[in-house]
Amino acid sequence: MAVFHTKDISRNAFLVTGGAGFIGSHIVEYLLHNNAGKVRVLDNLSTGSIANVELFSKYPQYEFVKGDIRDIEVCKAACEGIDYVTHQAALGSVPRSVKDPATSNDVNVGGFVNMISAAKDAGVKAFVYASSSSVYGDEPNLPKQEDKTGNLLSPYAVTKMTNELYAAVFHRLYTLNVVGLRYFNVFGPRQDPNGPYAAVIPLFVSGILNNNPVYINGDGAQTRDFTFVENAVQANIKGMLCEKPEAFGKPYNVAVGNNFSVNFLYNAIREMLSVVHEPTYREAREGDIHDSLANITRAQELLGYAPTRQFLDGLRITVDFFRNR
């Protein structure tokens, strides 16, 4: 992975909530490989993987805390002695939130308020958090620009927009340095292909490899700005270490700036695996947007963000990971 910072971080302590999860574990890996002074992970392992935690046990500066962000005392303890927080802990998935909005709200809103409050009280230098492209809702214009959102289409989207509202208030009221990252369909190695709320790319790869049925929701013409996880890591590192006062208190699109249809994605995976495997089409999912494409100008100008992996490059790395594990 490329190096995304020039600052010496060997004396800094980082907290990664949700660090046993997909994106969080890649952030942890980056920090450890680049000599961060301390990397503490807070995770309750409800959706994170113990295997991801075990990847880092050889590093003396690594610390794992099993705990739930819905417990304010856990959040306060996790923030003790921390310089930078990247808050990735959440219950993802639009369908999960449609089925159980209350739990999504408890974790994604209640847990968020606990974490940002604890970070504020601990006097951290910056608080970066995961938002989502779902906050654009039914806003029809492409590419998506941060200041133009529409009607929200799912409880999950409501939780992420609420995070952004709280973050803006904490920035204005307490002068907390906050950066929100609106992820656009992040994918990569270690993304879980199992369970009812698995993401599309590991589902497709796993299904084709194992000769299981692969389902495409709707007609497959819907488009996404698929974003390799290395780009998400970059945004987190640059957000935490940012030294521009004008950059804080804002959400940023984290994407590549190109979109591809789900049908294109499926066929690309099938070609990379050299397997003939036909998908099964079914009804579109409730709460899903049809098309997604990001304008990344704000992140480029204020955070210095520049995607290092394009979609197909990242897809090859991801397919190889699942094929060889």
Percentage with pLDDT > 90 across the chain: 88
Backbone angles phi, psi at 226, to 5 degrees: -65, 130
Instruction: For residue 93, give the CATH number of its domain.
Output: 3.40.50.720
Answer whether residue 207 shows pLDDT above 70. Answer: yes
Number of domains in the chain: 1
Active site residues: 156
103 to each of 110, 161, 191, 215, how far by Cα in Å?
10, 16, 22, 27
In eight-state DSSP terms, residue 285 is: P
In a domain, 155, yes or no: yes
Is residue 317 included in any domain, yes or no?
no
User: Residue 194 domain-assigned?
Assistant: no
Examine residue 195 and state whether it is found in any structural domain, yes or no: no
- Going by pLDDT thresholds of 50, 70 and 90, the confidence category of residue 284 is confident
| Strand ranges inside 110-256, DSSP E | 126-132, 178-183, 186-187, 215-217, 223-224, 227-228, 250-254
Residue 213 pLDDT class (50, 70, 90 cuts): very high
Confidence check: pLDDT of 287 > 80: no
- Which tens digits make up the pLDDT trace of 127-159? 999 999 999 999 999 999 999 999 999 999 999
In a domain, 134, yes or no: yes
In a domain, 322, yes or no: no
Q: What is the pTM of this model?
A: 0.95
Residue 170 has pLDDT above 70, yes or no: yes
Looking at every residue in the chain, the average pLDDT score rounds to 95
Within a domain: residue 3?
no
Question: What is the tens place of the pLDDT at every residue in 232-275?
Answer: 999 999 999 999 999 999 999 999 999 999 999 999 999 999 99
**CB of 230 within 8 A of CB of 183?**
no
CA distance 108 to 161: 10
Check if the beta carbon of residue 193 is closer than 8 Å to that of residue 205.
Answer: yes
83-123 pLDDT tens trace = 999 999 999 888 899 999 999 999 999 999 999 999 999 99
Range of the domain at 97: 13-187+226-256+295-308
pLDDT at 38 over 90: yes
218: in domain: no
